[in-house]
Structure 1
């Protein structure tokens, strides 16, 4: 194939890819200075509809070599009259601080910065130079580490706002293209450092450098994509089957524990359903199915609460919203001007015809400031129309409150620390209206 035909082959595939993902104009290309990214940026510069900018990461890992890569990219962008964004990272110190490997640290730094660029410059996509050989290497890396089907799919062609137009091209094809187009690139000596697993695998795969081997792997990965699609579809069906209620803000997912127990294979479904929320210990989840009501299972950002015959999965944020928070209500009008977790309004001496739409209490027994908070150990009150005092904890137990309901039920506290009202439930008998009441306070609450 001559130079013109080979160039057209590459350009045609890239244009079709861009048409598929719907790119109109503004993208940012991640350019390291190596072969793959230099071929990628040269291809994009041949498409008039695209206005690419360049992002280059200097990880400061190869001393002068890293700095020369940066200078090479800056000079290239200057010659092509395109905008170049450069970020220099102290990767080694971040690696020690985060206790990550060098490669994992570099990856996090790189993608965090790319996300910043996406938001700041309103790019449609960040364009990356990964090719099919990278997917093969990832396939084997994940086999060595242990993985499910998802880990065998290689590197995705499209992942949110990150795209990889060279995904179907091999390293050999990209190298051939660079040579016939006389594209210059920088060599990364760390690619020959065998302390990195990827480099070891790359070296061993070179012994199987044949079309039949690569075509066979490509077919395998395509089959795995189809199987993964079917698995995801089945997981979604199961998710709907076990769900009683689900809300996304704040996150709340209530499930039928009996239906979870019936899933087979149980370990597989538990992992697929709950690992996205940080629950990776399948054995703990299996034991949790038979846990007592009120028990909890924690991940870094979420918790599962056993509530009778149900599981409730919520974010820790939902707990921190209320935990130990106290809202001070200094007068009758202040509630109209401050943010409160419940919509509460006070009415001084309301008309008798409105009494049925509100809770009424003896105003002369009220002492400001009032407080709004959740229950604490030792709290008690005198429930209206009930004999004697009762601990709030016992009252909640008798009412069969779930752990979540206990955490999100608010108490209105008098200035003398007596509980006036368990909001949404019951008034304290000490504040009821009697024949001796001269002034009335009306309370309207929307929870």
Structure 2
């Protein structure tokens, strides 16, 4: 009777988590459970198998870090899935090689490999969720782990119960509760010897917390749970304020491709400035507060670069953009072999080509002497040493493209995102949306005209 009551206690809490908080309708949902073979994940998969509304499958990562032990874990899980007649996905990783190649710690490498694979499984199999076995003790360990390393409020919140497609139904259960449930239900699991290795900070924290007796352990859990709940509330208010500031600073924002124009002159009204800079820009990989503060008063054109983004100072504003996109633009070249099919090519800008066009009927139209055109034409961005002869320019006429951009007060972003139409002999025909090269202009001797509409 006691076992049955305890079983319902767990199931009721899990059902409430799934169906009250995450899934509004009662339709059967297909989920994938990450199962390592340890206590937490084995309790989780057994619990979910008892909920009719859920159709669970299993995903197991073999990180090849414990030799025979890792392979035995894999066999144990495969046998369990055969017995329960459930689908089992297994992925074997060379974690040590990945760690050396990407210069990451073993733990960070395993985490990246695991989550990248899980995301692929969601797409391939259309899972509602990836279900993970993290519990409340894991959140406490994460709380101390991040506190020791140095963190803000967000780092003290522990492990989230849900983020994107990842959910953790055991988040409110303690390790002792899970262990007690496993014993009374006779659930089998495997122990991970690496959890005893004191070279990992998390294991050291776990060992210290385990030294407290039952009374103090309960007091600590209860107190930390209240602390984390208070931090969640405070973090909610902070994030709300940050969102208000973000809207006030934003001049323009687009997502495909990513582009964010910001009123950086208003930064000085924010106090404390370092806090706001970190909260606004750390999600894009910018953590050097001093460099960001210096960029506020820097010359136009100065920039900061993170792994995936760049911030460019553009007069009184900042422009935050994916620098990878600009690098791709710089490398990318489009070839036009024949004008008959040119209008069918997908260019990074909207362009149309016309033979002998009627100028009065078309806006933003550049007219070119077709006789001077040599195929293939190229479309690319500027390169060092580029020069051209600006349309109807007096004097010698020749001008470096870098000097032209400077005179026009182009921002770094505009320079790198302005396309050039190049003749087959290497000469610049047209700076798209800006200026025609004088050598290709239409004259009285021109017999055939090529019109390019931007």
TM-score normalized with structure 2 length:
0.92
- How far does the alpha carbon of each residue in 1:365-418 deviate from its partner, in whole angstroms, 9 at most, with x for none? 333333333233343333334313133323222222111112222223334444
Q: Pick closer, same or farther for the CA change 1:404–1:153 going to 2, 3 Å.
A: same
Q: Pick closer, same or farther for the CA change 1:360–1:50 going to 2, 3 Å.
A: same
- How far does the alpha carbon of each residue in 1:270-320 deviate from its partner, in whole angstroms, 9 at most, with x for none? 111111111111111111111111111111111111111111111122212
The answer for the alignment partner of 1:57 in structure 2 is: 61
Query: Does 2:221 match 1:214?
Result: yes
Q: Pick closer, same or farther for the CA change 1:30–1:411 going to 2, 3 Å.
A: closer
Aligned residues: 445
Q: Pick closer, same or farther for the CA change 1:116–1:428 going to 2, 3 Å.
A: closer
Query: Does 2:41 match 1:37?
Result: yes
The answer for the alignment partner of 2:251 in structure 1 is: 244
408-417 vs 181-190, which moves further: 408-417
- 1:382 corresponds to which of 379, 389, 411: 389
1:60 match: secondary structure: coil
Query: Does 2:25 match 1:18?
Result: no
- 1:396 corresponds to which of 384, 405, 430: 405
Q: Pick closer, same or farther for the CA change 1:394–1:97 going to 2, 3 Å.
A: closer
69-78 vs 139-148, which moves further: 69-78
Q: CA deviation at 1:352?
A: 6.6
- 2:202 corresponds to which of 185, 198, 203: 198
Q: Pick closer, same or farther for the CA change 1:327–1:224 going to 2, 3 Å.
A: same
Contact 2:363 2:453 in 1 (8 A): no
Q: Pick closer, same or farther for the CA change 1:311–1:179 going to 2, 3 Å.
A: same
Q: Pick closer, same or farther for the CA change 1:55–1:405 going to 2, 3 Å.
A: same
Contact 1:58 1:88 in 2 (8 A): yes
Query: Does 2:295 match 1:294?
Result: no
- How far does the alpha carbon of each residue in 1:67-89 deviate from its partner, in whole angstroms, 9 at most, with x for none? 33222222222221112222233
Contact 1:355 1:442 in 2 (8 A): no
Query: Does 2:126 match 1:125?
Result: no
2:51 match: secondary structure: coil
The answer for the alignment partner of 1:74 in structure 2 is: 78
In 1, Cα distance between equivalents of 2:159 and 2:63: 22
In 2, Cα distance between equivalents of 1:139 and 1:166: 17
In 2, Cα distance between equivalents of 1:359 and 1:91: 57
The answer for the alignment partner of 2:279 in structure 1 is: 272
In 1, Cα distance between equivalents of 2:299 and 2:182: 65
In 1, Cα distance between equivalents of 2:196 and 2:361: 82
401-410 vs 362-371, which moves further: 362-371
In 1, Cα distance between equivalents of 2:384 and 2:99: 44
Q: CA deviation at 1:353?
A: 5.0
Q: Pick closer, same or farther for the CA change 1:357–1:176 going to 2, 3 Å.
A: closer
2:329 match: secondary structure: coil
The answer for the alignment partner of 1:307 in structure 2 is: 314
In 2, Cα distance between equivalents of 1:26 and 1:405: 48
Q: CA deviation at 1:167?
A: 0.6
- 1:255 corresponds to which of 262, 268, 275: 262
Q: Pick closer, same or farther for the CA change 1:256–1:31 going to 2, 3 Å.
A: same
The answer for the alignment partner of 2:50 in structure 1 is: 46
- How far does the alpha carbon of each residue in 1:185-229 deviate from its partner, in whole angstroms, 9 at most, with x for none? 222222222222112111111233432221111000000011111
The answer for the alignment partner of 1:437 in structure 2 is: 446
2:111 match: secondary structure: helix
1:82-121 superposed matches below 5 A = 82-121=86-125
CA RMSD of aligned residues (A): 2.1
In 2, Cα distance between equivalents of 1:348 and 1:36: 71
In 2, Cα distance between equivalents of 1:102 and 1:381: 53
Q: CA deviation at 1:346?
A: 2.7
- 2:325 corresponds to which of 318, 321, 329: 318
Q: CA deviation at 1:40?
A: 1.1
The answer for the alignment partner of 1:414 in structure 2 is: 423
Q: Pick closer, same or farther for the CA change 1:383–1:220 going to 2, 3 Å.
A: same
Contact 2:301 2:412 in 1 (8 A): yes
138-147 vs 216-225, which moves further: 138-147
- How far does the alpha carbon of each residue in 1:20-48 deviate from its partner, in whole angstroms, 9 at most, with x for none? 11184211111222221111111111111
In 2, Cα distance between equivalents of 1:54 and 1:352: 66
267-276 vs 397-406, which moves further: 397-406
Runs (5+) with no aligned partner, structure 1 = none
In 2, Cα distance between equivalents of 1:378 and 1:199: 58
- How far does the alpha carbon of each residue in 1:99-128 deviate from its partner, in whole angstroms, 9 at most, with x for none? 332222222222222222222222111111
66-75 vs 375-384, which moves further: 375-384
Runs (5+) with no aligned partner, structure 2 = none
